[in-house]
Amino acid sequence: MRIGILLSYSFLLLATAAGAQTPGCDHVLRGRVIDDHDGTTLGFAHVVLVGAARNTATDEQGRFTFEGLCAGRYLLRFSHVGCITREKELLLTGDTTVTLHLEHHVVEFNEVEVAAARPDEHVGQAHVQVDKAEMEKRGGSGLAEMVAHLPGVSVLRTGPTIGKPVIHGLSGNRVLTLNQGVRQEDQQWGSEHAPSLDPLSSDRITVVKGAASVQYGADAMGGVVITEPVELPVKAGLSGELRAMGGSNGRGGGGNGLLQGGVKGVQGLGWRMQGSGRYFGDQQAPGYVLSNTGLRESGGSAAIGWRNPRQGVQLYYSLFERDLGILRAAHIGNLTDLRNAIASGRPWYTAPFSYELDVPRQQVRHQLAKAEARRFLSERDQLVFTYAFQLDERQEFDMRRGGRSNTPALDLRLRTHTGDLVLKHYLSDRIHGKFGASGTHQENVNVPGTGVRPLIPNYRKRSAGLFLLEHVDLRDHLELAAGARIGGAVLDVFTHNSAQEFITPRHEFLNHALSAGLNWSIRDSLRLRTNISTAFRPPHVSELYSEGLHHGSAAIEIGDAALGSERAVKGTVDLEAIALKGRLRMDVTLHASHIAGYIHLRPDGYRLTIRGAFPEFRYVATDVRMHGVDASAEWTFLPRWALRSRLSVVRARDLLAGTWLFQMPADRMENSLVFRTDRAGTWRGIELAVTGTEVWRQSRVPEGLDFMDPPKAYRLIGLSASIARPLGQGELRIGMEGYNLLNAAYRDYLDRFRYYADARGTDLTLWVRYAFGRK
């Protein structure tokens, strides 16, 4: 059946490509870009036709033209040196002329915003976005859940409240998270260490699905998840939003608030404050409570910045705190009970619903401070310097004798300093790129007083790198990019060996990465992206020196100090097509990679300790080959009705063992019936969707390795709806999200706690958001 689905997608894509040549895609869009202040034309402005992979620059009179366009809705994004990037939505039904206005007073110095506005930032790389509207629907979720619906993206779970994004089968230290343009450093090595950031501090998330080590360095082997910063206001006046939500599963809720403005009399000075929180009790599986799975989260951020047409500075600070319980049934007293719990199909421990967080539990506190300065060296060349400091504090509590349960069994403090200097340059109208240098200094300390041998040792890590990335516009519809990076790292470890002798081993790594990509807009309705890249990742200290019980994942983990760097080669081909006059849109991504020295946790039996019986895992390295396909399609079969389908398939082989690779995501497909209408009386932006998700059984696993067979296939039904209307000087939007509406009992192969309990059952979330002030 899965082969049939893939063949159907291939057939539809070919039909789409053929349909791209049918009449109806011959419209012309012309326009001018002018200064909103004095009406003068702006030459060499950058104009992007978002979604159609078309971009151009205005001539000296500020004019631009796009030819061969299909009828439909388009989003124009346009920018110019000394101006704030703007967007304009338009409905194209025939030849159209537009006038675009830019305020030529200040310049938006925001690297991630520029990356989003310039399609060549990830030339050849398949990448997708979760916009603000989609984030609002999932506002009661963490970062991983917000991107989990995207093709090629899944979630590595540790119970119902902890998730990490998985891109094309890779996760953890192989998927880089950029928070406000800064590499997130928050003990991300742990499978149950969810990203310690508030996704609602951003207004969109970009996921790059490909090896991106050249631009972003190590840890970008599988891809990059980018929380895009929100532009600061530049004019006086207040704006903001308030949001509240409540969920049935966990009987909790949360809220988010944002306030921003400019400063009267100081052109270009803007500020923003934001805060959010969530509070939930025990999650519920079909038929029983998942005891001790409550959650507390709070976060806040503040930013202030000033800019003029030549230079700008910005300061940013955020604080994020999380306190959550670990499933009580995952901690078991002896080997016999552990085996029985895994075999029984039902958790050995359940209790009535509670908001109390008991042991085992974990507390996380993460702080980020960032300073950024930019200066234009010429009309288009600019120099950007970014410094960031992060402090991550993690405590994990376990059931301990002698009244010591409130003393953490793991107490880590991670300090990270990062610096980046990037020169963005133009060699000609068709050749431009960036040259950069980066450095990191990081120290991890085990805070004394736990009374337990540390799971990972104290260490100090220093790394530095240089990269060059150049873009060449061969023609209006063809763009190439190529780049290279060289990076080195020194890891000093402070630990004790098996004889309890204090040792200070040093590990040194030198790696390089190369990348070449192509964007080819074959026609307005057919676009090809292709990329081939090499990537690298030095082993993390946890993979080298872990030794003992990892409380959060309820498993014993053993490292190997002889492990070396991973080296990967990955190729992707992404084809986007539009047919039937814009009513059918498809996107298919093929990917294949080879990773030498792939490091992963491999099951290695059970072990009985004074804290109980736990499964044991060892870090081992092998060579792997991976390939797969992501596909999505949306067909508007009636003016207000659409069918949407998304598919993700990954295959991975352990080449040294000659078996399938352990813990790869199962095949997944999602189908939705969507109703949309612009207006109904005073209401607007109405959307309703019913979604069915099918996850097949993961049958491609190493025989006899895991503690239990992969779980059965499962099907889930979901529902989402949202509607908005003007209210006073703002907009009120109301929505709901339904998950697992039929309360199906299931277990997911990528859930580390599938050995002990089912996943969560039905969850209904209601939310309301009020936005006020200038958009």
Q: How far is CA 220 from the centre of its chain?
A: 12
Q: Are 668 and 693 in contact (CB under 8 A)?
A: yes
pLDDT of 444 > 70? The answer is: yes
pLDDT of 139 > 80? The answer is: no
Contacts (Cβ under 8 Å, ≥6 apart) of 343: 708
Angle CA(576)–CA(579)–CA(583) in degrees, nearest 5?
A: 105
pLDDT of 116 > 50? The answer is: no
In this prediction, residue 330 has a pLDDT band, given cuts at 50, 70 and 90, of: confident
All CATH 2.60.40.10 domain ranges of the chain, comma separated, are 1-104
pLDDT of 457 > 50? The answer is: yes
Edge to edge, what strands does the sheet with 175-179 contain? 126-130, 204-209, 223-228, 175-179, 182-183
- Rounded to whole angstroms, how far apart are CA atoms 121 and 544? 35
| pLDDT score recorded for residue 325 | 95
- Rounded to whole angstroms, how far apart are CA atoms 135 and 205? 8
120: closest CA among 582, 460, 476? Answer: 476
Q: What is the pTM of this model?
A: 0.85
- Rounded to whole angstroms, how far apart are CA atoms 740 and 738? 7
Q: Are 180 and 370 in contact (CB under 8 A)?
A: yes
| pLDDT score recorded for residue 185 | 93
* Average pLDDT value for residue range 242-255: 96
pLDDT of 456 > 90? The answer is: yes
Judged by average pLDDT, the poorest of 115-124, 391-400, 462-471, 576-585 is 115-124
Q: How far is CA 79 from the centre of its chain?
A: 26
| pLDDT score recorded for residue 635 | 95
- Rounded to whole angstroms, how far apart are CA atoms 706 and 752? 11
- Rounded to whole angstroms, how far apart are CA atoms 422 and 432? 13
In this prediction, residue 177 has a pLDDT band, given cuts at 50, 70 and 90, of: very high
pLDDT of 544 > 80? The answer is: yes
Q: Are 195 and 143 in contact (CB under 8 A)?
A: yes
Q: What is the average pLDDT score of the chain?
A: 87
Which amino acid does the sequence have at 594? H
Q: What is the DSSP string of 732-752?
A: EEEEEEEESTT------TTBT
Q: Are 147 and 205 in contact (CB under 8 A)?
A: yes
pLDDT of 11 > 60? The answer is: no
712: closest CA among 757, 756, 752, 749? Answer: 749
- Rounded to whole angstroms, how far apart are CA atoms 186 and 537? 17
All CATH 2.40.170.20 domain ranges of the chain, comma separated, are 224-773
Which amino acid does the sequence have at 698? Q
Edge to edge, what strands does the sheet with 86-92 contain? 54-57, 46-50, 72-79, 86-92
Burial class (CB in 10 A: 0-12, 13-18, 19+), 244: middle
Judged by average pLDDT, the poorest of 346-355, 448-457, 543-552, 592-601 is 543-552
Q: Are 34 and 40 in contact (CB under 8 A)?
A: yes
554: closest CA among 728, 703, 404, 757? Answer: 757
pLDDT of 319 > 90? The answer is: yes
pLDDT of 333 > 70? The answer is: no
| pLDDT score recorded for residue 60 | 65
Is the CATH number 3.30.1600.10 carried by domain 224-773?
A: no
Domain 1-104 CATH (choose: 3.40.1160.10, 3.40.50.620, 2.60.40.10, 1.10.1240.10): 2.60.40.10
pLDDT of 117 > 50? The answer is: no
In this prediction, residue 27 has a pLDDT band, given cuts at 50, 70 and 90, of: confident
3-state SS, residue 640: coil
| pLDDT score recorded for residue 81 | 62
How far CA 622 is from CA of 41, 565, 657, in Å, comes to 59, 11, 8
CA neighbours closer than 13 Å in the CB half-sphere of residue 707? 26
pLDDT of 163 > 60? The answer is: yes
